[in-house]
Amino acid sequence: MSRFWSSVVHNLSPYVPGEQPKIDGLIKLNTNENPYAPSPHALAAIAATMDRLRLYPDPSATGLRETIAAHYGVTREEVFVGNGSDEVLAHTFQALLKHDAPLLFPDITYSFYPVYCRLYGTNYETVSLDAEMRVRLADYRRPGSAILLCNPNAPTGIALPRAAIEALVTEHPDKLVVVDEAYVDFGAESAVPLVARHDNLLVIQTLSKSRALAGLRVGFAIGQRPLIEALERVKDSFNSYPLDCLAQAGAAAAIKDDAWFQATRARIVASREALVRGLSELGFEVLPSQANFVFARHPGRRGADLAARLRERAVLVRHFQKPRIEDFLRITIGTDEQCSRLLALLHEII
Ligand code: PMP
């Protein structure tokens, strides 16, 4: 293959998502989905929108953006919506992250980021996590155009407090700081309240995890108007609708159902604490997670081997073939029954 073609192929090597096999009785703890059904109000809103499928959806998603704005205490003009936060990230890369100076992000984080960098021609540099697998902000004092952090980080689950994010945006007024808060609702502090006083901060969230709507594909960004306008310009250049009408209606109803949201996340956090205790009793080292997954390794067992043995027993967990984390398993918090089954199988295997 010529050098030209091998570089094209390299730049287009896709992100490999977690498996979605269709096997009866499978316990899926590999893709950080919510184990519970979404808000019944969201489902009812989707059903009630069916008779509007004949019509085009609102291209500005005005109602949904207003609902998100009201919920987070910002204005509609400070909200951008897309088909999942992956699409919001894609627009962010195209609109805001194409500079000569590199984009900085941790070496161990959401594996989509380097894929997007290659796809959109974004120059990037990774910054090592520290010895405890934490993001150390002092390490970002280096030349760069922007900083991209996943908070809580994936796959470690470790979160930075809001004050640390504020210190970062204050210390780097010339860098755009993008915070991907896909997992923020399971115990971490959101940076959204900082948007009002920092024009170099963009916060991205999703309804796929804490709202149990991964299949609906809704994500959003909150930032000051110039950032949101830049995202809108990229979207408009595709002449694309942001979201179909079912997604707009279902997402708005889900955001409004705070009772479902609070109860479900409390349940998942309680299950996480129980799973952490169970894994620790089995001898696992578990990183302190504020997400809907835990990242754990057993001192005596290889990660790949444990993942394979669980798979033989119809339990899927995520394993990364990557230096430094190859002996860790990333385990999604399932129902209490699923977590108990996982612990029983690990007990048997170990
Ligand atoms: N960011 C992070 C850190 C994620 O783990 C995921 C889900 N894999 C996403 C963004 C994208 O989620 P979605 O497109 O479903 O909103």
What ipTM was assigned to the predicted interfaces of this complex?
0.99
Measured CA to CA, the distance from residue 18 to residue 94 in angstroms comes to 25
* 265 and 239 housed in the same domain: no
CA angle 155, 161, 167 (to 5 degrees): 115
* 198 and 301 housed in the same domain: no
pLDDT tens-digit series, residues 39-97? 999 999 999 999 999 999 999 999 999 999 999 999 999 999 999 999 999 999 999 99
* 198 and 324 housed in the same domain: no
* 145 and 216 housed in the same domain: yes
Measured CA to CA, the distance from residue 324 to residue 318 in angstroms comes to 15
Q: What is the pLDDT of residue 1?
A: 64
The DSSP bridge partners found for residue 150 are 180
Mean pLDDT rounded to a whole number for the chain: 94
* 103 and 142 housed in the same domain: yes
* 316 and 263 housed in the same domain: yes
Q: What is the mean pLDDT of residues 225-233?
A: 97
Does the beta carbon of 106 sit less than 6 angstroms from any atom of ligand 1?
no
> What are the start-end ranges of the H helices in 97-196?
112-120, 162-171
Q: Which tokens sit at 255?
A: 């955001």
* 174 and 241 housed in the same domain: yes
In this structure, the number of other CB atoms found within 10 A of the CB of residue 43 comes to 15
Q: What is the pLDDT of residue 242?
A: 78
Residue 238: band (very low, low, confident or very high) from pLDDT cuts 50, 70, 90: confident
Q: What is the pLDDT of residue 10?
A: 63
pLDDT tens-digit series, residues 85-144? 999 999 999 999 988 899 999 999 999 999 999 999 999 999 999 999 999 999 999 999
Between 11 and 39, whose confidence is greater?
39
CA of 157 from ligand 1 middle (Å) equals 13
* Total number of domains constituting the chain: 2
Q: What is the pLDDT of residue 241?
A: 73
Q: Among residues 257, 278, 312, which one ends one of the domains?
A: 257
At residue 263, the 3 state secondary structure works out as: helix
Q: What is the pLDDT of residue 120?
A: 93
* The pLDDT of residue 4 is above 60: no
Q: Among residues 257, 274, 293, which one ends one of the domains?
A: 257
* 225 and 140 housed in the same domain: yes
CA distances from 55 to 35, 81, 123, 216 (A): 33, 20, 41, 19
Domain containing residue 126: CATH number: 3.40.640.10
Ligand 1 atom nearest residue 208's Cα? 15
* 225 and 313 housed in the same domain: no
Does the beta carbon of 154 sit less than 6 angstroms from any atom of ligand 1?
yes
* The pLDDT of residue 9 is above 80: no
* 75 and 196 housed in the same domain: yes
Residues spanned by the domain of 75:
40-257
Does the beta carbon of 81 sit less than 6 angstroms from any atom of ligand 1?
no
* 235 and 299 housed in the same domain: no
Domain containing residue 11: CATH number: 3.90.1150.10
Does the beta carbon of 338 sit less than 6 angstroms from any atom of ligand 1?
no
Does the beta carbon of 208 sit less than 6 angstroms from any atom of ligand 1?
yes
Ligand 1 atom nearest residue 89's Cα? 10
Q: Among residues 241, 257, 273, which one ends one of the domains?
A: 257
Does the beta carbon of 182 sit less than 6 angstroms from any atom of ligand 1?
yes
Q: Which tokens sit at 203?
A: 């916060």
* 249 and 265 housed in the same domain: no
Does the beta carbon of 115 sit less than 6 angstroms from any atom of ligand 1?
no
pLDDT tens-digit series, residues 273-332? 999 999 999 999 999 999 999 999 999 999 999 999 999 999 999 999 999 999 999 999
Which residues are CB-contacts of 317 (< 8 A; sequence separation ≥ 6)?
Answer: 29, 30, 306, 307, 310, 329, 330, 331, 332, 342
Ligand 1 atom nearest residue 206's Cα? 16
* The pLDDT of residue 16 is above 70: no
